[in-house]
A and B are shown apart, each in its own frame.
Chain A
């Protein structure tokens, strides 16, 4: 840490709001000279201009550029039409990658939402709810890479009969006597599930917290009234609580879907995509950085973009409707 660095940091942290503030001040000064109607029409665009320019430069332009690159060859020297996409949708290895993303999408989202809901509902009824929520939310504080490293240790394998160093194998061996230790990450039938469990472990806290907040927003009198009318707990949950939670569940589900489509770190750290665990983001990374095939990497990126669009439209429509 040197004096020059601290100074630069200060300049950056104080300077950016200062610059923006003075820009807005200048805009207002200019608009005051014009008619109120003109000012009203133009003001939103002028205020948004810095953000819009940044968005255009760092979001729109790269997206368009990637779209163009996906139709070019590896070093982007000449066009290849749909060849990159054809490769992705016909090559047998690529189909496994797409299948894996689908499995992640369905399993991760559904299990996380269900578990989060379960913990939120059950936690609501106990006095130590705060402690439970804190513990379950803790994994959200670490990165996917850290989670990957932790779980890599937990999934470690030693042959049957020797001391188990991996938590999962050790626990299962202690609990059930005939259990044969498994190399969870290296069995084609288990490794995807093992990776998805890591993802679920990380994000259950998020689902639980949001759903718990939604749950607490349901007025107690409704539930009390239902109980008085003789409704069973199950009926109360499925017919009253769940419908009222619908928008909250949608929020959680869409966030989870957006997260899972991008899943990379867990796969990269734990198996590097070997043995049929590869996902689109990991493939995109390899094509881009290891193999320098920009056409194919861009095609992968475009597929992810297209897959996200329905979710985004849903999100935006919901933002428009309620204030959530």
Chain B
């Protein structure tokens, strides 16, 4: 009896220890001069993107004593939606796009940032289009902190000149360059669309650029607002144009198997092998930090560079597609408003600018902060574009966005099924935009 009692007590104590160490609730022992406390942030960043974010947070924590509790997930859509619906949102979240933000704002879950930020300062530092994109029904609910330019075609200048390839400026030129490269037995493109729960999003960027260059910003807006059917001739033509590249096994490195199974952050490697296994890689500006992480010896402009997406309809040659991470606030606490104020400053956004992980929409960030001519070039294009539209799939309701991603995967696996895939997308469209 005595022995079993001791055993039971020991069990209780050890399980108490297990529970206690498993708890994440810690209080910050900041100095008395600082605010202290903590703010929770939810975003998609992991790995190297997270390292950059952590370095951004460090001076803030040093200055204010506020601890930033970061949670990252590739399935941001599901996690954030659930937490907001459960009444347990993070203090701040880096939203993937204005589409989701608008859904939350209409539910009344987002804090009006004009009460938190110095609006005069904001209007001075941000172009009106950035503030508009972050506003719902006239209230500012999201601030862009890190932007990227989409629709760039990356290439290795050394291998291009070795192969005698000239940079194409129109779609037709691009097609003929592709044909001549393929005729020599090399695949001109390296494509990878895998990305966990969001697999397929790189393909959507590509399609959006093609659509934009073919039909212009007005039809583009009709498309992402659900007024243009997926089975319409315009949308189908965009897919078919894209298919001329990605569905042709001779055009893409490793064929469809490589496209489907390679993570977006690793797909460019064939460009930098010798001899070059591919010449072109479609991706946004942020891929630069990935390239530099994997190949630290490569120099921008000399070893890797980009050109803008070639024109299809000359009317829309100058149109660019941009995307950005916006920060939204769900809980107004002294800590969360302090962090929100910090993240909108040029000083904070510099942490993304300096390693070429993003372009800052804040005008106070000088062009000289960009580490190389490449990112400076991108920043200039972004800030001076005359037709700039936002990433369409990020503007769509999440059900449509998810279906779009899956459709990319299905199309790459089976391009012959395009009609069926588009019909399915239209079914989802009827569901997703009905506001149910």
- Residues of chain A at the chain B interface (Cβ within 8 Å): 1-2, 5-6, 8-10, 12-14, 73-75, 91-93, 156-159, 181-183, 185-188, 268, 272-275, 285-286, 289-293
> Chain B 173-210, CB within 8 Å of chain A: the 1/0 string?
00000000000000000000000110110000000000
The 9 A-B pairs of least Cβ separation, nearest first, read: A183-B257, A9-B19, A159-B254, A186-B260, A6-B20, A289-B78, A9-B16, A183-B261, A10-B16
Contact A10 B12 (CB under 8 A): yes
B402 CB within 8 Å of chain A: yes
- Residues of chain B at the chain A interface (Cβ within 8 Å): 12-13, 15-21, 23, 25-27, 77-79, 81-82, 85, 196-197, 199-200, 253-258, 260-262, 398-399, 402, 406, 409-410, 413-414, 424, 427, 432, 436
Contact B257 A157 (CB under 8 A): yes
Contact A291 B410 (CB under 8 A): no
Contact B413 A186 (CB under 8 A): yes
With A13-B12, A157-B261: A5-B436 Cβ-Cβ less than 8 Å: no
**How many angstroms between the C-alpha atoms of A285 and B81 in the bound complex?**
12
Given contacts A5-B25, A8-B19, A14-B12, 16 further A-B contacts (CB under 8 A): A2-B20, A2-B26, A8-B20, A9-B15, A92-B424, A157-B258, A157-B261, A158-B258, A159-B254, A186-B256, A187-B413, A275-B260, A289-B78, A290-B399, A291-B399, A292-B81
> A residues within 8 A CB of B424?
92-93
> B residues within 8 A CB of A1?
20-21, 23
Contact A159 B253 (CB under 8 A): yes
With A10-B12, A13-B15, A268-B197: A291-B398 Cβ-Cβ less than 8 Å: yes
> B residues within 8 A CB of A73?
436
Query: Nearest B residue to A73 by beta-carbon distance?
Result: B436
Contact A272 B199 (CB under 8 A): yes
Across the interface, A185 reaches (CB within 8 A) one of B20, B85, B261, namely B261
Q: List 28 A-B contacts (CB under 8 A).
A: A1-B21, A5-B19, A6-B16, A6-B19, A9-B18, A9-B20, A10-B16, A13-B15, A75-B436, A156-B261, A157-B262, A159-B253, A159-B257, A159-B258, A183-B258, A186-B256, A186-B261, A187-B257, A268-B197, A275-B260, A275-B409, A275-B410, A286-B78, A289-B82, A290-B78, A290-B399, A291-B402, A292-B81
> From residue B321, how far is it (CB to closest CB) to chain A in Å?
24
Contact B12 A289 (CB under 8 A): no
> A residues within 8 A CB of B21?
1
> B residues within 8 A CB of A292?
81, 85
**How many angstroms between the C-alpha atoms of A268 and B85 in the bound complex?**
22
> A residues within 8 A CB of B17?
6, 9
> A residues within 8 A CB of B23?
1-2, 5
Contact B414 A188 (CB under 8 A): yes
Contact A5 B254 (CB under 8 A): no
**How many angstroms between the C-alpha atoms of A75 and B262 in the bound complex?**
37
Across the interface, B398 reaches (CB within 8 A) one of A9, A187, A290, namely A290
> B residues within 8 A CB of A159?
253-255, 257-258
> A residues within 8 A CB of B260?
183, 186, 275
> From residue B213, how far is it (CB to closest CB) to chain A in Å?
27
Query: Nearest A residue to B18 by beta-carbon distance?
Result: A9
**How many angstroms between the C-alpha atoms of A316 and B406 in the bound complex?**
41
Query: Nearest A residue to B254 by beta-carbon distance?
Result: A159
> A residues within 8 A CB of B15?
9, 13
Number of A-B contacts (CB under 8 A): 104
> B residues within 8 A CB of A274?
199-200, 406, 409-410
Query: Nearest A residue to B255 by beta-carbon distance?
Result: A159
Across the interface, A272 reaches (CB within 8 A) one of B197, B399, B413, B432, namely B197
**How many angstroms between the C-alpha atoms of A181 and B413 in the bound complex?**
16
Across the interface, B402 reaches (CB within 8 A) one of A5, A9, A187, A286, namely A286
**How many angstroms between the C-alpha atoms of A268 and B432 in the bound complex?**
22
> A residues within 8 A CB of B77?
290
> A residues within 8 A CB of B261?
156-157, 183, 185-186
**How many angstroms between the C-alpha atoms of A187 and B261 in the bound complex?**
10
**How many angstroms between the C-alpha atoms of A157 and B23 in the bound complex?**
39
**How many angstroms between the C-alpha atoms of A8 and B255 in the bound complex?**
57
Query: Nearest A residue to B78 by beta-carbon distance?
Result: A289
**How many angstroms between the C-alpha atoms of A181 and B257 in the bound complex?**
9
> A residues within 8 A CB of B27?
2
> B residues within 8 A CB of A273?
406
> A residues within 8 A CB of B399?
290-291
> A residues within 8 A CB of B200?
274
Query: Nearest A residue to B398 by beta-carbon distance?
Result: A290
Contact B410 A290 (CB under 8 A): no
> A residues within 8 A CB of B262?
157
> From residue A187, how far is it (CB to closest CB) to chain B in Å?
7
> From residue A54, how far is it (CB to closest CB) to chain B in Å?
20
Contact B81 A289 (CB under 8 A): yes
> B residues within 8 A CB of A93?
424
Query: Nearest B residue to A75 by beta-carbon distance?
Result: B436
Contact A272 B255 (CB under 8 A): no
**How many angstroms between the C-alpha atoms of A78 and B3 in the bound complex?**
61
Interface centre among A10, A188, A268, A293 (most CB of B within 10 A): A10
Interface centre among A1, A91, A156 (most CB of B within 10 A): A1
> From residue B90, how far is it (CB to closest CB) to chain A in Å?
16
**How many angstroms between the C-alpha atoms of A2 and B20 in the bound complex?**
7
> A residues within 8 A CB of B79?
289
> B residues within 8 A CB of A74?
436
With A159-B254, A275-B410: A290-B25 Cβ-Cβ less than 8 Å: no
Across the interface, A13 reaches (CB within 8 A) one of B19, B196, B253, namely B19
> From residue A265, how far is it (CB to closest CB) to chain B in Å?
13
> A residues within 8 A CB of B78?
285-286, 289-290
Contact A272 B19 (CB under 8 A): no
> From residue A34, how far is it (CB to closest CB) to chain B in Å?
31
> B residues within 8 A CB of A92?
424
Contact B413 A275 (CB under 8 A): yes
**How many angstroms between the C-alpha atoms of A156 and B256 in the bound complex?**
14
> B residues within 8 A CB of A186?
256-257, 260-261, 409, 413
> B residues within 8 A CB of A14?
12, 16
> From residue A89, how far is it (CB to closest CB) to chain B in Å?
16
**How many angstroms between the C-alpha atoms of A188 and B411 in the bound complex?**
12
Query: Nearest A residue to B413 by beta-carbon distance?
Result: A275
> From residue B402, how far is it (CB to closest CB) to chain A in Å?
6
**How many angstroms between the C-alpha atoms of A1 and B197 in the bound complex?**
34
**How many angstroms between the C-alpha atoms of A12 and B410 in the bound complex?**
50
